[in-house]
Amino acid sequence: MSMRDRHMFLARLALAVTALAFSGASAAQTTAPRLGRSAPADLIRRMDRTVDSVGTGLPEGSGTVASGRAIFAAKCASCHGEGGTGSMAEAVAGGRGTLASLRPIKTVGSYWPFATTLFDYIRRAMPLSAPQTLADSEVYGLVAYLLSINGIAPRNVRLNRMNLPRIQMPNRHGFVSLEGREFDGNIDRPAPVQVKGRRP
């Protein structure tokens, strides 16, 4: 085989290997990856625990300040400190009137805008060492206790799905939306152009 024939053979071989590689890649791209498994309906139902700002999703049950105080001492104080004043984790009490200062203290009483989403967060994420292990009545009790030590709810309150959404938090109007009222959540769609003095 001459040198020229050898070069032609190698060039054709390289083209054939490249063509095979591309055909294999396109075949792999058309096959969906087999990752994980479909979630069973009962698992989805158990995980669908969202409570929104107006209280949609709040469960049945209730809790008192007294029950919440006991639960906080047993399951929360080791991180958040006795009386919620802070320890390994941030304080959950105090700080009222500090948000505009050079050292704002963000707590349930000074910063949190909705009592209902406080319920959602505690039920979903606390205690840190064992999230989603609190019963709904325990969460209601903890929220009652936290609101009480922050001076937002009376000491004898019993919270439930009917009265929790009516709690007015001190920083309720401290959050503003950067989006127009027409924003529907789709960030790819341009917002409507507003003409001065006229709404679209």
Q: What is the pTM of this model?
A: 0.70
Assess contact for 192 and 180: CB atoms under 8 A. Answer: yes
pLDDT at 165 over 80: yes
pLDDT digits (tens, 9 = 90+) for 110-140: 999 999 999 999 999 999 999 999 999 999 9
pLDDT digits (tens, 9 = 90+) for 37-82: 888 888 787 777 789 999 999 999 999 999 999 999 999 999 999 9
What is the rounded average pLDDT of the residues 147-174? 96
Strand 62-64 relative to strand 158-160: parallel, antiparallel, unpaired?
A: antiparallel
pLDDT digits (tens, 9 = 90+) for 171-182: 999 987 666 666
| Rounded-to-integer distance, Cα 132 and Cα 77, Å | 18
Q: What percent of the chain has pLDDT over 70?
A: 78
Q: Give the pLDDT score at 13.
A: 73
Taking the C-alpha atoms of residue 68 and residue 62, their distance in angstroms, rounded to an integer, is 11
pLDDT surpassing 70 at residue 184: no
DSSP state of 179: S
Q: What is the pLDDT of residue 76?
A: 97
How far apart are the C-alpha atoms of 178 and 158, rounded to whole Å? 36
Amino acid residing at 83: G
The neighbour count for residue 150, using CB atoms within 10 Å, is 21
Pick from 182, 188, 179, 152: which is nearest to 167 by CA? 152
The pLDDT, as a whole number, for residue 189 is 61
Q: For residue 101, how far is the Cα from the chain centroid?
A: 27
Q: Position 22: which residue type? A: F
Q: Give 51's contacts (C-beta < 8 A, 6+ positions apart).
A: 57, 58, 116, 117, 119, 120, 123
Q: What is the mean pLDDT of residues 30-35?
A: 74
What's the confidence (pLDDT) of residue 75? 96
